[in-house]
């Protein structure tokens, strides 16, 4: 089979699966029917059962991957649309993002030490809350395993998008700015996708939070790895 054909089939398959997941989610909304989770889990199970290697899947997957950079660029638009709100609540927003970034780095490193993990694994977990390209460069500088770090980033993203709404309810967090901020700080672009689903304000604050927390975390990780 030519790789062109494999590529087309993979992209079409992933797209149909995604559309189907979206339908499922609208019929029965639950953390486990969330499109990113349902589509990914189905593909992972399919690859395991058929024994198709990830590299073969990525012949098509790489064409989807090239959109990741432009998508980060496109997030400038929701940010721009809600700039007046961000200006109005600048104080609370910056304190919230800083506290969240600090919590992510601290609990990540402290938890890994508590579980008795080796140095390289601690370094790979530390940057998990921020968007993949930044987490990768932070992990690289820190001396961790870059591909494993990308996996942790995805787990932080998907788990936050899946169960974030439950945590927000338990903690009685109702303000849309506080909600969006939590999604962006904890779960980067995947959390932002979830926040955008809820409201435009939530989405915009989430974009802002993932951007600023990425910068903060890149300063915190090297410091905490030395201090702790």
Partner 1 sequence: MKYFIMILQISVLFLFNFIGQFIQGYFSLSIPGSLIGMLLLFSLLILKVLPLTWIQSGVDFLLKDIPFFFIPVTVGVVQYLSFFYGKGSLTILLVVISTFFVIGVSGTLTNFLLKKEVKSYE
Q: Of 46-65, which residues contact partner 1 (CB under 8 A)?
A: 47-48, 54, 57-58, 61-62, 64-65
Q: Please list every residue from 159 through 198 that binds partner 1, using CB under 8 A.
A: 159-160, 163-164, 167-168, 170-175, 177-179, 181-183, 185-187, 189-190, 192-193, 196
Q: Applying CB under 8 A, which of residues 144, 152, 216, 221 lies at the interface with partner 1?
A: 152
43 lies in the binding site for partner 1 (CB under 8 A): yes
CB 15 within 8 A of CB 35: no
Contact by Cβ (8 Å): 153, 131: yes
Q: Is 8 in the site for partner 1 (CB under 8 A)?
A: no
Residue 9 or 83: which CB sits closer to partner 1? 83
Q: Both ends of the chain: CA-CA distance in Å?
A: 53
Residue 217 binding partner 1, by CB under 8 A: no
Closest CA to 129 of 156, 151, 92: 156
Q: Report if residue 5 touches partner 1, rule: CB under 8 A.
A: no
Q: What is the dihedral of CA 105, 109, 114, 118, to 10 degrees?
A: 160
6 is an interface residue for partner 1 by CB under 8 A: no
Q: Determine, following the binding rule CB under 8 A, whether residue 144 of this chain makes contact with partner 1.
A: no
DSSP assignment of 106-154? HHHHHHHHHTT--HHHHHHHTTTTS-HHHHHHHHHHHT--HHHHHHHHH
Contacts of 137 (CB under 8 A, 6+ apart): 218
Smallest gap from residue 18 Cβ to partner 1 (A)? 5
The distance of closest approach from Cβ of residue 27 to partner 1 in the complex, given in angstroms and rounded to an integer, is 17
Work out which of 82, 85, 86, 108 binds partner 1, going by CB under 8 A: 108
Q: Closest CB to partner 1 among 92 and 223? A: 92
Torsion of CA 38, 169, 176, 149, to 10 degrees: -50
Instruction: Find the shortest distance in angstroms from Cβ 1 to partner 1.
Output: 19
Shorter beta-carbon distance to partner 1: residue 2 or 174: 174
* Shortest Å, Cβ 77 to partner 1: 5
Binding of residue 134 to partner 1 (CB under 8 A)? yes
* Pick 28 or 84: Cβ nearer partner 1: 84
Enter the DSSP assignment of 2: -
User: What are the start-end ranges of the H helices in 28-118?
Assistant: 35-50, 54-65, 68-74, 76-81, 83-88, 90-114
């Amino acid at each position: 089979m030519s790789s062109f054909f494999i590529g087309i089939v993979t992209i079409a398959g992933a797209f149909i699966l995604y559309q189907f997941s979206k339908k499922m989610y609208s019929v029965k909304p639950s953390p486990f029917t969330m499109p990113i989770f349902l589509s990914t889990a189905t593909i992972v199970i399919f690859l395991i059962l058929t024994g198709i290697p990830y590299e073969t899947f990525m012949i098509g997957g790489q064409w989807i991957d090239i959109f990741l950079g432009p998508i980060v660029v496109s997030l400038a638009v929701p940010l721009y649309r809600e700039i007046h709100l961000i200006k109005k609540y600048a104080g609370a927003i910056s304190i919230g993002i800083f506290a969240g970034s600090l919590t992510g780095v601290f609990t990540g490193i402290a938890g890994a030490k508590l579980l008795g993990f080796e140095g390289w694994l601690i370094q790979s977990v530390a940057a998990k809350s921020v968007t993949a390209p930044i987490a990768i460069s932070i992990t690289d500088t820190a001396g961790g395993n870059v591909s494993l770090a990308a996996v942790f980033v995805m787990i932080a993203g998907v788990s936050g998008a899946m169960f974030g709404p439950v945590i927000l309810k338990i903690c009685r967090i109702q303000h849309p700015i506080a909600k969006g901020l939590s999604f962006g700080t904890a779960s980067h672009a995947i959390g932002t996708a979830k926040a955008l689903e809820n409201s435009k304000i939530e989405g915009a604050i989430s974009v802002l939070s993932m951007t600023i927390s990425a910068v903060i975390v890149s300063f915190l990780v090297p410091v905490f790895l030395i201090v702790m």
